[in-house]
Structures are given as structure tokens and as C-alpha cells.
Amino acid sequence: MGFLDLLWAYILVFVFAAVPFFEAYGVIALAIFAGLPAIPVVLIALIGNILTVLLLILFVNKIKEWRKKRKGDEVDKEPSKRARRAQSLWKKYGLPGLAFIGPLLVGSHLTAFMSISFGGTKKSTSVWMMASIIVWGLVFGVLTYFGIDFLGYGDRGFFNDMISND
């Protein structure tokens, strides 16, 4: 893989990790499966995911205003199944529980938005969400890396091996 190919791959890792619902932990697993080195992938994906979650938290009031203008009276309607699940987690486990369980169920961006909506401060939500994203990213990175290594795909890249004619 040439330098530009590697650079392009890392840019894609960053962008996909930054996009809501493409969580860092999922992007990390896919990139490692694809044969990219684990440590740079984990770092780049974590930075992409954390950056957009922090931006969402920083601008949450503007986002709420924009959403209210866009949806009008629909904002006050019955909450979605995801929102009800997140609120249940909030009531049962508080901010730390929602921050750690939410990204696996509804995504880190929606979890951060709901944490603020349910009463979490921007500072505490930022700290707990960053911790959660880092922990899950590391867990999935380590499990994926050692899982691939165990299967013998560590040096070749899982997807490359699947499509090669060897």
C-alpha cells in the first residue's frame, strides 16, 4: 500500500468515525479487518469520534433551536423508542451509565445529545462521553486485533485475503 493509499485510508477512518452512527469502535474493527495498522487506526478513529461529539455538546443549544424550528410542534410529541431507552438508562444509571451503555445502543452522538437534554452539564457530559468513546474504542481495537491475529490474518488483511485469488 503506497503512501497516498494509506493517507486516504486514514482520512476515511477519521471521517467515518466522525459521522454519527458510524461509531469509532465499528470503524476501528473494520479498518483493522481491512489490514490497517491497529494503533494509528485507533487513535485516528477516536479523535474523529470525540471531536464531533464535543462539537455537538458545545453547540447543543443551537442544535436544539434548529431542530425546534425544523420540526415545529413535532419536537414535543411522543419520544422515539431510542429516546425512551436512553431515558430509562438515565433514570437507572445516571450520566455515567448512559455514557457507557448508550453508544452501543443508540450511538455516541445521540447519547451525548440526550445526556444534555436529560440534565447533564456540558462539562460532565464531555468527560463521561470522552471516557466512554476511548474505553469502547480500545476494547474493540484490542479484541479485533487479537482476534485477527488469532485467525492468522494479522499481516495480510482480512478483506484482502477474502478477495485474492491465491
The tens digit of pLDDT for each residue in 131-145 reads: 999 999 999 999 998
The tens digit of pLDDT for each residue in 18-41 reads: 998 889 999 999 999 888 999 999
Residue 58 CA to residue 128 CA, distance in Å, equals 14
Position 11 pLDDT exceeds 50: yes
Q: What's the predicted TM-score (pTM) here? A: 0.81
Percent over 70 (pLDDT), the chain = 85
Sequence length of the chain is: 166
Residue 79: predicted pLDDT: 73
Percent over 90 (pLDDT), the chain = 55
Q: Across the chain, what does the average pLDDT equal?
A: 85
Residue 163: predicted pLDDT: 47
Domain boundaries, the chain: 3-163
Q: Which are the contacts of 141, defined by CB distance < 8 A and separation ≥ 6?
A: 25, 28, 29, 32, 38, 41, 42
Q: Which are the contacts of 135, defined by CB distance < 8 A and separation ≥ 6?
A: 100
Identify which of 107, 128, 19, 117 has the alpha carbon closest to the alpha carbon of residue 64. Answer: 117
